[in-house]
Amino acid sequence: MVYGMTDDEIVEYIENLADQINDLEAKLEKAIRFQIAEDVFVEKRGEYSWCVSVLGTVLDRDLNRHYEPMPSNRSQEFISATRFYFDEAFELAKRYTEL
């Protein structure tokens, strides 16, 4: 027994936690926008592409803000500078909020 639970109760508890984690992962896969701070968001821009948006602008890797042109006016250079994998976008957003 651990903390007054039988082995069967512990197994059931762990299985329940695993189901909750799977449900949460399924919901997160559908998310397209995460609010990091009042005006800072990580937003999905493609299948594997994310940006950090701040008050109508997007950040580059050096945390400089850029106004985002209409999709038809975005150069490849702009996209490369302001699009990131998920983990990198979150890290940049965190760094920006710590300024």
Rounded-to-integer distance, Cα 68 and Cα 71, Å: 8
78 & 42 share domain: yes
**Which DSSP letter does residue 7 get?**
H
Q: Are residues 21 and 41 in the same domain?
A: no
Of 67, 99, 97, nearest to 82 by C-alpha is 67
Cα–Cα distance for residue pair 3/69, rounded to 1 Å: 58
Residues 58 and 11 in one domain: no
Q: Which domain holds residue 4?
A: 1-30
Beta bridge partners of 42: 34, 52
Are 43 and 88 in the same domain?
A: yes
Same domain, yes or no, for 61 and 13? no
- Pair of tokens at residue 52: 């950090």
Statement to judge: residues 4 and 21 lie in one domain: yes
What span, in angstroms and rounded, lies between the C-alpha atoms of 20 and 61? 35
Encode the chain (99 residues) as per-residue pLDDT tens digits.
567 888 889 889 999 999 999 998 888 888 999 999 999 999 999 889 999 999 999 999 999 999 999 999 999 999 999 999 999 999 999 999 999
Q: What amino acid occupies position 89?
A: A
17/47 same-domain check: no
* Pair (86, 46) in one structural domain: yes
Number of domains in the chain: 2
- Identify the pLDDT of residue 96: 98
**Amino acid identity, position 43:** E
